[in-house]
C-alpha cells in the first residue's frame, strides 16, 4: 500500500523552514518513495503552481546545500489544497486528493489542534493512517486530555506521533549512549553526587513573523512545557529496558510524574519580554512592536522555571529550565554540576566542582575537571576534556520524519507524557496569568532580565580530547 504525506498548515514557517527541506532529503535518499503523494493544505487562495513557487523559494533559502535538481524533484511532486482544516467538508475534500495510507501532519498553531482533530474525527481516516501533532500539545492539560481522547477515537496510540524535535537532536540521543552504554557516569548520576542541573535554550532569534502562533503561546508553552521538560526527562530517567517505543516513553513518563511544580511560583520562576535592541549587529524591534502582537496578552518571550524531581534518585536536586528569545548569545545545553569531593587533599586549593556540559548546538560534550597544573605540580588547574561530534547525516526534523514514515514511535511523546508536562507548568501559567510574577523587560541582545544571569559559561574554549 502506498503512503501519502499531508501537511495541514502547509504554508507556515515550520513547513517552509524545516519540513520541506527534510522531505527533500528523504526524497533524495529514497525513504519517501516516488509513489507517495505530497499534499499541503492552508487557507491561502493559492493554486498548485503558486504553492510550488513558494516551496521553491523556501527550499532555496533553507535547503541551499541540496542540489537544485533534488529540490526541484520534490517541488514537482507537491500538490496544494486551499481549505480550512477545521471545517469537516473542507478537510474531506482535501484528503480526497491523496491515495493510500495518509500520514496527516498537524503543522498548525496549537490552538487549532482541537478543532482540527474534531473535524478529522468526523471525516474519519482509512486503515493504516497516522496522525502527527506538533508541540505544544494543546493549550493546557484539559485541552491535551481532549486531544488524546480525539486521537484515540481515530487511531491506536501506535499510530499517533506527538512531535518534539529536540528528542532527535544528536546530543540528546548521545545522552542515552553516555548514560547507559558506559560504566563511569551512571554510578554518580544521582542526588548524592549531582548538586544541580541547568537546561538552557537561549536564542538570538526574535519573533521571525510568527505572531499568529507565538503571541498565544509564549516562551513557557513554546519551549519549557515541551522541549526543556523532555530534556529533563532524558537526563533524569531510569535506565530503559531497551531503547524502543515501549520502554523509552514509559521511563520518561515516570520522571515527568515525579516532577513537583514549584510551591512558590514567584521564587521559582522568571518571566520576561524583550524591548528594542541589537542582536549580532541587527536592530530588533521591541516584541510589542512586532506585526500581529497584541501587547495586552502580556506574552512572555523569556521563561525560567526551577523544579525538583521527587524520587529516590533526584530528591532535592534543583533542575533549572531557561529559554528566551532575542538574547545576546545563542546557547543550547544541559549542564550537570557535581558536588565537591568529600575531602580535598590539596591545602589552600578551592577548586570548582566538576561540570559536565552537553551542548546541543554545536553538538559537543565537555567535562570540566580539576587536574594538577603545568606549573606547580601540587596546584590545581581547571581542564576541559571535550569532544565535538560531526553532524548527523540527517538533521533532527529529517530524522523524525524518517522514523514516523517507518511507523517507529520511539522518539514520539506518549499520551501520558503530554498530559504530565501540562500538569507541571499549569500552576506557573496560572500564577503568571494572575499577575503574581512581574513581566520583566530586557533589551534585545542582552543576557535576559536583569538579576537572572545565565549559568556560567564554559571554563575556557573547548579543545578536542
Ligand X SMILES: NC(=O)C1=CN([C@@H]2O[C@H](COP(=O)(O)OP(=O)(O)OC[C@H]3O[C@@H](n4cnc5c(N)ncnc54)[C@H](OP(=O)(O)O)[C@@H]3O)[C@@H](O)[C@H]2O)C=CC1
Ligand Y SMILES: O=C1O[C@H](COP(=O)(O)O)[C@@H](O)[C@H](O)[C@H]1O
Binding residues: 43, 84-85, 135, 165, 169, 203, 222, 325
Name the residue nearer to ligand X (CB basis): 120 or 309: 120
Q: How far is the CB of 82 from ligand X (least distance, A)?
A: 8
DSSP state letters, 341-387: PS---STT--PPPPEEEEEETTEEEEEEEEEE-SSSTTSEEEEEEEE
Q: What is the footprint of ligand Y within residues 436-465 (CB under 6 A)?
A: none
Q: How far is the CB of 131 from ligand X (least distance, A)?
A: 14
Q: How far is the CB of 94 from ligand X (least distance, A)?
A: 9
Residue 13: contacted member of ligand Y, ligand X, none (CB under 5 to 8 Å, by partner type): ligand X
Retrieve residue 389's grid coordinates.
561530534
DSSP state letters, 229-298: HHHHHHHHPPPPSSSSTTTHHHHHHHHHHHEEPPS-HHHHEEEEEEESEEETTEEE--GGGSTT--GGG-
DSSP class of 464: B
Q: Interface with ligand Y includes 203 (CB under 6 A)?
A: yes
Name the residue nearer to ligand Y (CB basis): 168 or 268: 168
Among candidate residues 171, 216, 150, 142, the one with its CA nearest the CA of residue 418 = 142
Q: How far is the CB of 435 from ligand X (least distance, A)?
A: 26
Residue 134: contacted member of ligand Y, ligand X, none (CB under 5 to 8 Å, by partner type): ligand X
Q: Interface with ligand Y includes 222 (CB under 6 A)?
A: yes
Kindly determine how many residues on this chain lie close enough to bind ligand Y according to the rule CB under 6 A: 4
Q: Interface with ligand Y includes 363 (CB under 6 A)?
A: no
Q: What is the footprint of ligand Y within residues 331-360 (CB under 6 A)?
A: 332
Q: Please answer whether residues 4 and 41 qualify as being in contact, where contact means their C-beta atoms are separated by less than 8 angstroms.
A: no
Retrieve residue 385's grid coordinates.
576534556
Closest residue to ligand X using C-beta atoms? 12
Residues 6 or more apart from 144 whose CB is under 8 A from it?
A: 137, 138, 418, 419, 422
Residue 448: contacted member of ligand Y, ligand X, none (CB under 5 to 8 Å, by partner type): none
Residues 6 or more apart from 189 whose CB is under 8 A from it?
A: 179, 313
Residue 86: contacted member of ligand Y, ligand X, none (CB under 5 to 8 Å, by partner type): ligand X
Helix (H, G, I), strand (E, B) or coil at 194: strand
Q: How far is the CB of 346 from ligand X (least distance, A)?
A: 48
Name the residue nearer to ligand Y (CB basis): 222 or 333: 222
DSSP state letters, 115-176: HHHHHHHHH---TT-EEEE-SS-SSSHHHHHHHHHHHHHHS-GGGEEE--GGGGSHHHHHHH
Q: Give the number of residues written for the chain.
A: 465
> Active-site residue among 110, 152, 193, 227?
227
Q: Please answer whether residues 308 and 318 qualify as being in contact, where contact means their C-beta atoms are separated by less than 8 angstroms.
A: yes
Residue 401: contacted member of ligand Y, ligand X, none (CB under 5 to 8 Å, by partner type): none
Residues that constitute the known binding site for substrate: 165, 169, 203, 222, 325
Residues 6 or more apart from 347 whose CB is under 8 A from it?
A: none
What's the CA gap between 278 and 281, in Å, rounded?
Answer: 6
Binding mask 49-88 for ligand Y (x = CB under 6 A): ----------------------------------------
Q: How far is the CB of 135 from ligand Y (least distance, A)?
A: 6
Q: How far is the CB of 10 from ligand X (least distance, A)?
A: 6
For the question of residue 227 being annotated catalytic, the response is yes
Q: What is the footprint of ligand Y within residues 372-411 (CB under 6 A)?
A: none
Name the residue nearer to ligand Y (CB basis): 205 or 315: 205
Residue 233: contacted member of ligand Y, ligand X, none (CB under 5 to 8 Å, by partner type): none
Retrieve residue 72's grid coordinates.
526541484
Phi, psi dihedral angles at 324 (to 5 degrees): -155, 155
Residue 150: contacted member of ligand Y, ligand X, none (CB under 5 to 8 Å, by partner type): none
Name the residue nearer to ligand Y (CB basis): 222 or 462: 222
Q: Interface with ligand Y includes 215 (CB under 6 A)?
A: no
Q: Interface with ligand Y includes 254 (CB under 6 A)?
A: no
Q: How far is the CB of 22 from ligand Y (least distance, A)?
A: 12
Give the end-to-end CA distance of the chain in Å, rounded to a whole number.
49
Residue 308: contacted member of ligand X, ligand Y, none (CB under 5 to 8 Å, by partner type): none
- Which of 205, 430, 457, 465 is in the footprint of ligand Y by CB under 6 A? 205
What's the CA gap between 446 and 278, in Å, rounded?
Answer: 8
What's the CA gap between 234 and 236, in Å, rounded?
Answer: 6
DSSP class of 223: I
Q: Please answer whether residues 102 and 3 qualify as being in contact, where contact means their C-beta atoms are separated by less than 8 angstroms.
A: yes
The residues of the shown chain that bind ligand X, judged by CB under 6 A, are 9-14, 41-44, 84-86, 107-110, 112, 134-135, 165, 210, 212-213
Residues that constitute the known binding site for NADP(+): 43, 84-85, 135
Residues that bind ligand Y (CB under 6 A): 203, 205, 222, 332
Hey, which residues are catalytic here?
Answer: 227
Amino acid at each position: 500500500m502506498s503512503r501519502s504525506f499531508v501537511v495541514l498548515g502547509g504554508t507556515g514557517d515550520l513547513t517552509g523552514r524545516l519540513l520541506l527541506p527534510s522531505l527533500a532529503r528523504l526524497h533524495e535518499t529514497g525513504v519517501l518513495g516516488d509513489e507517495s503523494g505530497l499534499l499541503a493544505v492552508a487557507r491561502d487562495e493559492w493554486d498548485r503552481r503558486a504553492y510550488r513557487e513558494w516551496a521553491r523559494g523556501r527550499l532555496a533559502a533553507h535547503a541551499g546545500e541540496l542540489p537544485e535538481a533534488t529540490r526541484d524533484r520534490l517541488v514537482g511532486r507537491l500538490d496544494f489544497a486551499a481549505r480550512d482544516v477545521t471545517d469537516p467538508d473542507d478537510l474531506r475534500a482535501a484528503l480526497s486528493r491523496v491515495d493510500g495510507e495518509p500520514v496527516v501532519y498537524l503543522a498548525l498553531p496549537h490552538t487549532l489542534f482541537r478543532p482540527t482533530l474534531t473535524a478529522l474525527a468526523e471525516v474519519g481516516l482509512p486503515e493504516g493512517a497516522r496522525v502527527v501533532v506538533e508541540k505544544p500539545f494543546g493549550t493546557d492539560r484539559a485541552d491535551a486530555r481532549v486531544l488524546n481522547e480525539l486521537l484515540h477515537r481515530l487511531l491506536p496510540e501506535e499510530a499517533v506521533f506527538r512531535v518534539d524535535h529536540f528528542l532527535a537532536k544528536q546530543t540528546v540521543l548521545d545522552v542515552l549512549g553516555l548514560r547507559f552504554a558506559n560504566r563511569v557516569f551512571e554510578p554518580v548520576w544521582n542526588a548524592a553526587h549531582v548538586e544541580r542541573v541547568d537546561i538552557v535554550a537561549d536564542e538570538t532569534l526574535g519573533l521571525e513573523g510568527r505572531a499568529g502562533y507565538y503571541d498565544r503561546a509564549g516562551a513557557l508553552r513554546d519551549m519549557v512545557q515541551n522541549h526543556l521538560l523532555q530534556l529533563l526527562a532524558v537526563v533524569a530517567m531510569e535506565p530503559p529496558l531497551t531503547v524502543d517505543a515501549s520502554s523509552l516513553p514509559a521511563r520518561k513518563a515516570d520522571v515527568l510524574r515525579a516532577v513537583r511544580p514549584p510551591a512558590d511560583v514567584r521564587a521559582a520562576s522568571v518571566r520576561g519580554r524583550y524591548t528594542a535592541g541589537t542582536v549580532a549587529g541587527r536592530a530588533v524591534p521591541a516584541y510589542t512592536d512586532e506585526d500581529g502582537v497584541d501587547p495586552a496578552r502580556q506574552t512572555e518571550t523569556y521563561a525560567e522555571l526551577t523544579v525538583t524531581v521527587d524520587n529516590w534518585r533526584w530528591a532535592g536536586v534543583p533542575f533549572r529550565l531557561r529559554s528566551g528569545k532575542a538574547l545576546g548569545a545563542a546557547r543550547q545545553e544541559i549542564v550537570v554540576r557535581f558536588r565537591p569531593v568529600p575531602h580535598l587533599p590539596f591545602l589552600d586549593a578551592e577548586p570548582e566542582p566538576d561540570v559536565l556540559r552537553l551542548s546541543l548546538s554545536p553538538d559537543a560534550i565537555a567535562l570540566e575537571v580539576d587536574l594538577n597544573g603545568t606549573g606547580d605540580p601540587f596546584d590545581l588547574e581547571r581542564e576541559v576534556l571535550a569532544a565535538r561530534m560531526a553532524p548527523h547525516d540527517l538533521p533532527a526534523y529529517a530524522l523524525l520524519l524518517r522514523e514516523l514514515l517507518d511507523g517507529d514511535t520511539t522518539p514520539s511523546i506518549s499520551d501520558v507524557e503530554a498530559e504530565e508536562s501540562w500538569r507541571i507548568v499549569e500552576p506557573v501559567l496560572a500564577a503568571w496569568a494572575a499577575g503574581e510574577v512581574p513581566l520583566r523587560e530586557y533589551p534585545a541582545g542582552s543576557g535576559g532580565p536583569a538579576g537572572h544571569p545565565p549559568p556560567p559559561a564554559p571554563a575556557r574554549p573547548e579543545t578536542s580530547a
